[in-house]
Amino acid sequence: MSLSRRVKEYLDHEHVHYDVLPHPEAFHALAIAQLLHMPEKEMAKVVIVRVEMRYVMAVLPASWTVDLHRLRNFFRPHHVRLATEQEFKDLFPDCELGAMPPFGILYGLPVYVDHSLTEDEHIVFQAGTHSEAIRMRYWDFHTLVFPVVKEFRHVPALAG
């Protein structure tokens, strides 16, 4: 499978510059960052979160995890949990399972971006496939998606 046609048409229609970064097949954002020889914090991953009966996209650095406690505080008093692949697989019919890009606008989902991703000039994320990523300017992404920017990541403790 190649770059999501829906995403490509959207980016081309909006005249946004982006680079397609082919890489060997990989199923985790951390692995993709390593394959592309880029810092892990610059690779974004999409996590689908279920808030009551609806789904939202949480976008955060690849090496971090979603802090559900922070999200619960944000969505209070709603029930918040990670969605299962079985639950969201049909939401992204043009994407390989687990390789959805953070364009909730194309899939009817609100997008929440962790504040840390706004600090870099570029954002890199999966392109709907396990063998391609997209790199674009963060502010172009922000202008297209209009995400809610919050802090909801759990930073792993440093070993030592």
User: What ranges do the domains of the chain cover?
Assistant: 5-154
pLDDT greater than 70 at residue 156: no
Report if pTM > 0.75.
Answer: yes
Strand-pair partners of 70: none
Ramachandran bin of 69, using left for φ above 0, alpha for ψ from -120 to 50, beta for the remaining angles: alpha
What tens digit of pLDDT does each residue of 67-107 get?
888 877 777 767 888 898 889 888 998 888 888 999 999 99
The CATH architecture assigned to 5-154 reads: Alpha-Beta Complex (3.90)
Q: Which residues of 121-146 are buried (b: 16+ CB within 10 A; e: fewer)?
A: ebbbbbbbbbbbbbbbebebbbebbe
